[in-house]
Amino acid sequence: MTFDLILRVGTKLILPFILLFALYVQFHGDYGPGGGFQAGVITSGMVILLAITCGLDLAHRIAPQAMVEKMIPLGVLLYAGTGVAGLLLGKNYLDYSVLSHDPVHGHELGIFLVEAGVLITVTGTMTALFYAFVERGR
């Protein structure tokens, strides 16, 4: 199966910027709109765009199926683990104030970890769903 040259080159040109925008949405979520969920969908959208225009094999090379499937539980574990860390350090579940010496820093760190967990799970799930449907159609 051959793919259109213009689409292929154009996609490869904008691919890093899509990923950069996803990271911006993720890490700028503290200041502007966005967060883990939106960034995760944009990241998986990048992989899906690559798979549509350049073929599934290339997408598998940058996001291997095994890795994507492991990301789904990994994000939930990171999120729940952040909660358990608060529990082990002597406060309530999902209380971030004990994660750092300063309560405000602890909250910032907790929100960062939790958003990272959401990002990992959403990216993994959306990409794995796409892979599952495409594999089925082969």
Partner 1 sequence: MALLTLLAIVTLAIIRQRSLFGVVILAGIYSFLMASVMIVLDAVDVAMTEASVGAGVSTVILLATLHLIKSTEMRSVRPHLLPMFVTIVTGAVLVWGTLGLPPFGTADAPIHKHVAPRYLADSIKETGVPNVVTSVLADYRGYDTLGETTVIFTAGIGVMLLLRGSRRRGRADEEKAKS
The residue ranges that bind partner 1 (CB under 8 A) are 25, 29-35, 37-38, 41-42, 44-45, 48, 52, 69, 72-73, 75-76, 79-80, 83, 94, 96, 103-105, 107-108, 110-111, 114-115, 117-118, 121-122, 124-126, 128-130, 132-138
What amino acid occupies position 116? A
Q: How far apart are the first and last CA of the chain?
A: 12
Question: What 8-state DSSP symbol labels residue 99?
Answer: S
Considering the complex, what minimum distance in angstroms separates the CB of residue 16 from partner 1? 18
Phi, psi angle pair for 25, to nearest 5° = -60, -40
Identity (one letter) of the amino acid at 137? G
Q: Least CB distance from residue 110 to partner 1, whole Å?
A: 7
Which is closer to partner 1, CB of 32 or CB of 90?
A: 32
Contacts by residues 57-63 (CB-CB < 8 Å, ≥ 24 positions apart): 63/127
**Smallest gap, in angstroms, from Cβ of residue 83 to partner 1?**
7
Is 8 or 94 the residue whose CB approaches partner 1 more closely?
A: 94
Q: Which DSSP category does 101 fall into?
A: S
Least CB distance to partner 1 at residue 57 (A):
11
